[in-house]
Every structure is written in C-alpha cells, then in structure tokens.
Amino acid sequence: MDRKKIEKAVRMILEAVGADLERKDIASTPKRVAQMYEEILSGQHKDPTKELEVILEQRHDEVILLRDIPLYSVCEHHLLPFVGRAHVAYIPDKRITGLSKLARVVDVLSKRLQVQERLTTQIASSIMKKLKPKGVIVVIEAEHLCMSMRGVKKPGAVTVTSVVRGIFRKNQKTRQEALSLIFKK
C-alpha cells in the first residue's frame, strides 16, 4: 500500500472541502487516514484459503456453525464502512478446520474494498476450495453507512445476503436446519 499517495489524496480532499490544513487538529489527519487504510484494507492481497488449516481428517457429517462473527468492511462505491455479522456453516467431508480459521477467512476478505454480495460469495468459495466440504452456507447481515448517512438516509436498515453451496443448495431440509440454527435467538 502506498501511504504517501494516500496522504497526498487525503490532503487534496481536505483542501477541496475547505478544511484548514494548518489547524493543529487536522494537520496529522492525512497520515492517520493512511495508517487507517493500511489496517482496514490489509486483506487486499491476501489469500483467504491460507487461513483454513485442515486440523482433522475424519468422518463427520453434521453441521458445524460459527454464528455472529463480527465484521467491518469498506464499501467500494462510497468508501464508507458497512458493519455486521457473518454466519458460516459447513458439513465436512473428511476435512475439518479450527473454528477460529473460519473467522479469519471472514476477516481477510472483509479487509478489502468490498460489496456485501461478493464478500458472501468469496467466503463460501474459499471454504469450498480448501476444505471441499459436502456443503457450505454463508449469511451476512450488515448495516451500510452509505445508506444510513447519505442518499436514502435509513439508519438501522440491514442488508442480508446468503450463499448456499453443495448439500445446502440441493437439500432443502439441510438448508432449513442450518438457517434455523443461524437465526435461533
């Protein structure tokens, strides 16, 4: 990531909106924003499948679910955050990974310029590619600040996206079981 370029761009934006770059409180803003982008977009060039270490090879044909994984991402259309939760379930076919590894995949892919629909698909695709499970389901619920702060101005509106693969797509009972576990409160 090119921090100096980001700092220059932020300076230009601040000048364009009429901010006083000499003011003590704003003088360091370009540097702080560049550091922030480096952190929150750190997944830009990482391979999420490298997070999915296979820790066990055994027969297990029941749902494994990690629910309510917090996620923070940046909408590529307006460069504003979207914040929510991911729910990831899979049914292994021999390969099982640690639960924290599923959360790491969500983190890596969230730390990119994103749209929620693609993020949901990328999480499912990464798990299918590395673990080769019988099926995977990913549901994301998120509030987009580009809808809350600007445009339609509807704070609290939640966007829900889902991707179902394998047995979850083919078998309605299996899909329904996973969804009931995800939305069980």
Can you give the pLDDT of all 185 residues of the chain as single tens digits? 999 999 999 999 999 999 999 999 999 999 999 999 999 999 999 999 999 988 777 778 899 999 999 999 999 999 999 999 999 999 999 889 999 999 999 999 999 999 999 999 999 999 999 999 999 999 999 999 999 999 999 999 999 999 999 999 999 999 999 999 999 86
CA distances from 127 to 92, 108, 161, 183 (A): 10, 13, 17, 21
Report the catalytic residues. 75-78, 116, 144, 146
Tokens 């996620």, residue located: 71
pLDDT at residue 53, rounded to an integer? 86
- Asked if residues 55 and 121 have their Cβ atoms less than 8 Å apart, the reply is no
The model carries a pTM of: 0.94
pLDDT at residue 60, rounded to an integer? 80
| Domains detected in the chain | 3-40 (1.10.286.10), 49-182 (3.30.1130.10)
d(CA 37, CA 41): 6
**Pick from 91, 80, 72, 76: which is nearest to 140 by CA?**
72
pLDDT at residue 170, rounded to an integer? 97
pLDDT at residue 80, rounded to an integer? 96
Q: Measured in whole angstroms, how far is the alpha carbon of residue 137 from the centre of its chain?
A: 14
Dihedral in degrees, nearest 10, Cα atoms 72, 168, 179, 124: 0
- Asked if residues 163 and 138 have their Cβ atoms less than 8 Å apart, the reply is yes
pLDDT at residue 55, rounded to an integer? 76
